Amino acid sequence: MAVSAEDRRYMAAAIRLARWHEGRTGSNPSVATLIVREVEGRPVIVGRGVTAIGGRPHAEPQALADAGELARGATAYVTLEPCAHHGRTPPCADALVAAGVARVVAAATDPDDRVSGRGYAILRAAGIEVETGVLAEDARRDLAGYLMRRTANRVHVTLKLAVSANGKIGRRDGAQVPITGEVTRRQVHALRAQSDVILIGVGTAINDDPDLTCRLPGLAERSPVRLVLDTGLRLPPAARLVAGARTVPVWIATATAQDHPARAVLRDAGVEFIASEAHKERVALPELLEDLAARGLSTVLVEGGAETARAFLDEDMVDRIVLFEGEGRIEGEAVEAPLAPGRVPARFREAGVMTFGRDRMYEYERV
Ligand code: AOF
Ligand code: ZN
């Protein structure tokens, strides 16, 4: 049987369901399963499951339990190839076989060495009809962090930037000027909640003294690791970030020696040091991104400032750009934005435009 419009509709619903636990499943991707069958002549969703918070159980056994006996002869829609390995849970492909599912429609193939086609092979060997690649591009966009970690051994990087209507990001004297409004602020907090790590340069940490937590109702427990890029270890121990280091983790990527005197003070406050063990000129971004992936993290949101944004762009370490443009202008001695709408490197393509209050949000993806 070929892939139908109905298949794509159920897959779209499964992809939406998978978003429920995005950013909350640890190193496991958040994926979803829908079990659909005909009941009294009409297709009905009889079971649904999304990877549990923390990463286990996987989506499939939950959806199958939900469907019970109705799973027999049904179609399962899975946003990621069902696993084939005995990890902390038995293989999901085996569970689908045991439940007597007749057909499996899948979006993305799992690049995990233990799966990667084996999940499909188990299903087919059991006589289950398998369709793959349905709405794969949509599913892959949501799984971008996981896929990047598995295929390139590094984290996926989103660069977030707010620019004024005349392409500036702030004043030269460092005085804070609002660029975007309240609706955008909430959207930024939602972006944070979807990320495993929020990264800023030490200049921004000193100048703005941000908190970088996620303060949205229901999402407060989803505050990601806060990471400061601080080559020379200039972060003041009195910074708000440091004060909250015992509640939400604060990591510093530094190129200073192990016995640098500032380390002890910050460490006592609960700050953790990552990246370079040896003394270097500066923190190497590719190594840093690999180090984060090796810790099971998948997504980083780079929040500024201009210098940090430029470093990531110059080293081609940005996968996605989220650019907010406010309606106001910053006149006088202003800092030029490294990017603005219409001023984005050719390797990025526009992936969407949305309006948040009075601000515009432009999204770009690396092609
Ligand atoms: C599925 N369904 O809902 C998810 C899957 O550490 P483990 O044993 O939980 O395995 C983690 C791997 O499971 C992960 O790398 C990915 O291949 C797969 N994720 N698979 O069948 C799910 N989240
Ligand atoms: Zn599984």
Q: Per mean pLDDT, which range of 77-91, 249-263, 278-292 is the poorest?
A: 278-292
10 SS3 class: helix
Pocket probe mutation, ligand 1, options 83, 92, 146, 147, max atoms within 8 Å of Cβ: 83
Q: What is the mean pLDDT of the chain?
A: 93
CATH architecture group of domain 5-142: 3-Layer(aba) Sandwich (3.40)
Using the structure block, give the residue that is written with the tokens 């970690």. 149
Predicted confidence (pLDDT) per residue in 210-231, tens digit: 988 877 776 666 778 999 999 9
- The answer to whether domain 155-366 has CATH 3.40.50.1820 is no
- From CA 192, how far away is CA 214, in angstroms rounded? 6
- From CA 204, how far away is CA 39, in angstroms rounded? 58
- Give the pLDDT of residue 219: 67
- Give the pLDDT of residue 23: 85
Mean pLDDT, residues 232-255:
94
Which stretches of the chain are assigned E, i.e. beta strand? 32-39, 42-50, 75-80, 103-108, 129-131, 156-163, 168-171, 197-201, 225-229, 250-253, 272-274, 299-302, 320-325, 334-336, 348-356, 359-366
- Give the pLDDT of residue 89: 82
Residue nearest to atom 8 of ligand 1 (CA): 87
Boundaries of every domain in the chain? 5-142, 155-366
With a 6 Å cutoff on the Cβ, whether 81 touches ligand 1 is no
Q: Do domains 5-142 and 155-366 have the same CATH topology?
A: no
Q: At a CB cut-off of 8 Å and minimum separation 6, what does 84 contact? A: 91, 93, 114, 115, 118, 119, 121, 122
**Is 306 annotated as contributing to ligand binding?**
yes
**Is 314 annotated as contributing to ligand binding?**
no
Predicted confidence (pLDDT) per residue in 179-191, tens digit: 999 999 999 998 9
Predicted confidence (pLDDT) per residue in 41-54, tens digit: 999 999 999 999 99
